[in-house]
Structure 1
Amino acid sequence: MLERAEDAPAGIDAVKATGTVSKHDYEPVVEPLIDAARKEGRRIKLLYEIGPDFRSFTPGAGWEDLKVLGAMRLFEGCALVTDVGWIRESTRMMSFLMPCPVRVYGNEERAEALHWLASLPEGPGISHRARPRLRAPQRRRAAPPVDPSARPGVARPTRSPATHAPARRHRPHIRRPAVR
């Protein structure tokens, strides 16, 4: 079962998973949270708690999780609080695919998770992958010069871009006299 945790500070949305989480748990909890963020034009800082009384996810819940990934661009950050080993490790392995920073905390570290979410800067364009570029961006090449003797309105390159040799003109409609 999924439920909203009301004890989270303002600006942080908290969801708690207990027992068996099914597809029907996402509809009243997660979907309204995402819809509200879209309507308000705000980004989501999510605290996702999976407590010791959690049992499992149903396949339908896994499918709903994948659908939530489509809205991940709305997320400013996500903190997962759990002591369930397989969930901790799979989240760590997949966190690099997320467009927002993701951190994993133990059940005793909930206060630290809330503090980390509150410390995230707000606003679009903030990324956890802010690294310097390894190579300089390539400049665009200028358009090849146009042959003025070509038909009006049709631009033809004077040199072949691959070999830098003069471009051949092929005009099948012009007959050339036979050479003897």
Structure 2
Amino acid sequence: MLETTVQPGTNIVTIDYQGGLSVEDEQRMRQVLDEVIRDHGSVRMLAVMGKIDFSEISPKAAWINLKAAGYLKKLDRLAVVTDAAWAAKISEWTAELVHITVRTFPADQRADALAWIT
């Protein structure tokens, strides 16, 4: 499940992801991101990654997610909150490949991550 929320009046988007991923989850995320970018020109994102069930990820949702890479150009900052070493490594690669400011925080430091992107 992917839940996408916005702090009212800001360009701060929180994405909470755990379990599987559906096409509807991806479509909602894209809609929120489009609205924030339209209103603010950029996004500051807090990505909270819990336990992911790869067997519950829809192939079509995964494809939509890959196509969402264009949103990376509109990110001012990305804070990734996770205890998964693989997710932290992907965040590191993302920062290097697209030259955005990314910082990874352990799961128990969500408040610090939010403060950092704010």
Q: TM-score, normalised by structure 2?
A: 0.81
Distance (whole Å) between structure 2 residues aligned to residue 33 and residue 99 of structure 1? 23
Say whether the 8 Å CA contact 2:4–2:32 is kept in structure 1.
Answer: no
Look up the match of 2:32: 33
1:44 is matched with which residue? 43
Cα distance in 2, alignment partners of residues 94 and 73 from structure 1: 11
Which residue is equivalent to 1:55?
A: 53
Distance 1:10 1:48, change over 3 A: farther
Distance change (3 Å), C-alpha of 1:5 and 1:51: farther
CA distance in 2, matches of 1:58, 1:87: 19
| 1:164-179 equivalence runs, <5 A | none
Q: Which runs of 4+ in 1 moved over 6 A?
A: none
More strand per residue: 2
1:101 is aligned to 2:96: no
Relative contact order: is structure 1 or structure 2 higher (C-alpha 8 Å, sep ≥ 6)?
A: 2
Q: Which digits, 9 at most, give the CA deviation of each residue in 1:58-107, with x for residues without a partner?
A: 43333222222112222111111111222222222332112421111110
- Taking only aligned residues, the RMSD between alpha carbons, in angstroms, comes to 2.1
Structure 2 equivalent of residue 85 of structure 1: 85
Select the structure of larger CA radius of gyration: 1
* 1-structure distance, mates of 2:25, 2:42: 22
Give the secondary structure class of the aligned counterpart of 1:111.
Answer: helix
**Are positions 1:21 and 2:21 aligned together?**
yes
Q: Percent identity?
A: 26
Helix, strand or coil at the partner of 2:53: strand
2:37–2:43 CA contact under 8 A, matched in 1: no
* Structure having the larger proportion of residues in helix: 2
> 1: distance between equivalents of 2:82 and 2:76?
20
Q: How many residues align?
A: 115
Shift of 1:50: 0.9
